């Protein structure tokens, strides 16, 4: 063996969205909080993210997570999320993958029928309920940090496409919401490529024209996500809708998107479209679902906020070791614009 780096990885997906969980091989990550560790990875150890997510080992639709011990006495474990364009403060599909891997590989003990966990994400503590049966995690429900609306019904101008009415909200990542019909989309899988091309242009215009800054942590990235939303409908006591999230640099989230669902709950609550205790079933572009709700209300700086919960399921797909040969010319990987639509 002549690798100069070898990572132990549990491959996993949550409702179709890949969330690899790196369980070993990366050494010490300095920092007191998970946000400090996220910054350390971003500033001084970014080669790990590039190795796992860039080509030739990764792909633009992959996400990964590093399991790290937490210094918070309340937390059972911590994790930092590594995505193709950023280190988000929080991620829903990745949280569901991390909780599933922690319990199904025995890193933390599983108690049937329910294991309660507290995980420290960069955004803060995340309480997680895992329903478990016969050694399988059958559902992960997490309570997110507060989600809130930055802008509602704002008009933006997109070069060559015209004007769009948008909302901007935070749910662990920062989202611009556009009604899919306003851009001529029905949110069907055959539209994915076009939605990404148009979505990236709308996202860039929103980021330029609408200011955002997280009141408690200005280091949290601004608008990097776009959700094309379908209409809300009430069915059998539930509120249901479809959405497609365009993740930078231009690919669709395969899951309904946990941070996007959280941000959408904040928008829906601000519009009086959902009350605490009601169930919101959010569907992805491939038809998978998260079951979401509002657990409570909060305040973040000057903003009214909701405390969202999101539930879904993950499945482990493999165990792998990823290595780096010292003569490999792509020590930092590479990206190509056929799938990496923009450089970032
Ligand atoms: O569920 C989510 O929040 C996300 N899925 C991949 C990109 C986002 O982090």
The pLDDT assigned to 344 comes to: 46
Average pLDDT over residues 285-309: 98
Contact 31, 326 (CB under 8 A): no
The pLDDT assigned to 341 comes to: 80
Average pLDDT over residues 214-238: 97
274: CA distance to ligand 1 center in Å?
Answer: 22
Handedness of CA 314, 317, 318, 323 (dihedral sign): negative
Contact 147, 169 (CB under 8 A): yes
Confidence of residue 150 (pLDDT cuts 50, 70, 90): very high
Annotated catalytic, 130? no
The pLDDT assigned to 17 comes to: 98
Q: Is 124 in the pocket of ligand 1 (CB under 6 A)?
A: no
- Domains of the chain, first to last: 5-140+316-324 (3.10.310.10), 147-312 (3.10.310.10)
Q: Is 261 in the pocket of ligand 1 (CB under 6 A)?
A: no
Question: Is the pLDDT confidence value at 100 over 90?
Answer: yes
Strand partners, 8: 24, 321
Which residue reads 């928008």 in tokens? 267
Strands (E), the chain: 5-14, 17-18, 20-24, 64-68, 77-82, 114-121, 124-133, 136-143, 147-158, 162-170, 174-179, 223-229, 233-235, 238-247, 251-252, 279-283, 289-300, 303-312, 314-324
Q: Is 171 in the pocket of ligand 1 (CB under 6 A)?
A: no
Confidence of residue 342 (pLDDT cuts 50, 70, 90): low
The pTM score is: 0.98
Q: How many residues appear in the chain?
A: 344
Question: Is the pLDDT confidence value at 167 over 60?
Answer: yes
DSSP-derived secondary structure for 251-284 = EE-SS--HHHHHHHHHHHHHTTS--TT-EEEEE-
Predicted ipTM of the assembly: 0.99
Question: Which residue among 94, 221, 247 has the greatest number of ligand 1 atoms within 8 angstroms of its CB, and so is best to mutate?
Answer: 94
* Degrees to nearest 5, angle at CA 333 with 327 and 339: 145
Question: Is 110 buried (19+), middle (13-18) or exposed (0-12) by CB count in 10 A?
Answer: middle
Q: Is 256 in the pocket of ligand 1 (CB under 6 A)?
A: no
| Structure confidence by residue, pLDDT tens digits, 261-280 | 999 999 999 999 999 999 99
First-to-last CA distance in the chain? 35
Confidence of residue 312 (pLDDT cuts 50, 70, 90): very high
The pLDDT assigned to 36 comes to: 98
Q: Give residues with Cβ within 8 angstroms of 83, minimum separation 6.
A: 53, 63, 64, 91, 247
Show the tokens assigned to 203.
């996202």
Contact 69, 28 (CB under 8 A): no
Q: Please provide the average confidence, as pLDDT, over all residues in the chain.
A: 97
Question: Which residue among 62, 65, 91, 123 has the greatest number of ligand 1 atoms within 8 angstroms of its CB, and so is best to mutate?
Answer: 91
Q: Is 17 in the pocket of ligand 1 (CB under 6 A)?
A: yes
Annotated catalytic, 12? no
Which atom of ligand 1 sits closest to the CA of residue 19? Answer: 6
Q: Point out the catalytic residue in the list 85, 97, 196, 257.
A: 257
Give the residue, 89 or 343, on which the prediction is more confident.
89
Question: Is the pLDDT confidence value at 343 over 70?
Answer: no
Q: What percent of the chain has pLDDT over 70?
A: 99
Question: Which residue among 79, 82, 92 has the greatest number of ligand 1 atoms within 8 angstroms of its CB, and so is best to mutate?
Answer: 92
Average pLDDT over residues 197-221: 98
Q: Point out the catalytic residue in the list 70, 91, 241, 309.
A: 91
Show the tokens assigned to 17.
């969205």
What is the H or E stretch that residue 71 is in?
A: none
């Amino acid at each position: 063996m002549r690798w100069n780096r070898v990572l132990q990885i549990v491959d996993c997906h949550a409702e179709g969205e890949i969330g690899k969980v790196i369980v070993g091989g990366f050494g010490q990550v300095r920092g007191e909080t998970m946000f400090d560790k996220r910054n350390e990875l971003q500033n001084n150890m970014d080669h790990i993210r590039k190795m796992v997510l860039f080509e030739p080992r990764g792909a633009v639709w992959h996400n990964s997570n590093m399991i790290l011990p937490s210094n918070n006495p309340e937390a059972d474990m911590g994790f930092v999320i590594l995505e193709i364009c950023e280190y988000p403060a929080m991620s829903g599909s990745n949280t569901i993958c991390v909780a599933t891997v922690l319990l199904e590989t025995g890193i933390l003990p599983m108690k049937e029928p329910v294991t309660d966990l507290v995980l420290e994400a960069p955004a803060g503590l995340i309480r997680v309920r895992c329903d478990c049966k016969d050694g399988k995690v059958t559902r992960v429900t997490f309570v997110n940090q507060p989600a809130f609306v930055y802008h509602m019904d704002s008009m933006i101008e997109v070069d060559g496409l015209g004007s769009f009415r948008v909302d901007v909200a935070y749910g662990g990542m920062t989202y611009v919401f556009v009604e899919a019909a306003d851009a001529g989309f029905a949110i069907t899988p055959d539209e994915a490529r076009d939605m990404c091309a148009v979505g990236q242009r709308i996202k860039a215009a929103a980021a330029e024209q609408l200011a955002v800054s997280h009141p408690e942590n200005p280091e949290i990235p601004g608008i990097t996500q776009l959700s094309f939303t379908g209409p809300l409908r009430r069915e059998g006591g539930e509120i249901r809708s479809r959405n497609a999230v365009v993740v930078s640099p231009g690919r669709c989230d395969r899951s309904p998107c946990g941070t996007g669902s959280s941000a959408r709950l904040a928008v829906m609550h601000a519009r009086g479209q959902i009350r605490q205790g009601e169930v919101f079933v959010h569907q992805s572009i491939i038809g998978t679902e998260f079951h979401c709700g509002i657990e409570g209300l909060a305040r973040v700086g000057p903003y009214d906020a909701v405390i969202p919960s999101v539930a879904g399921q993950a499945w482990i797909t493999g165990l792998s070791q990823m290595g780096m040969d010292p003569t490999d010319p792509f020590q930092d990987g590479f990206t190509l614009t056929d799938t990496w639509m923009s450089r970032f």
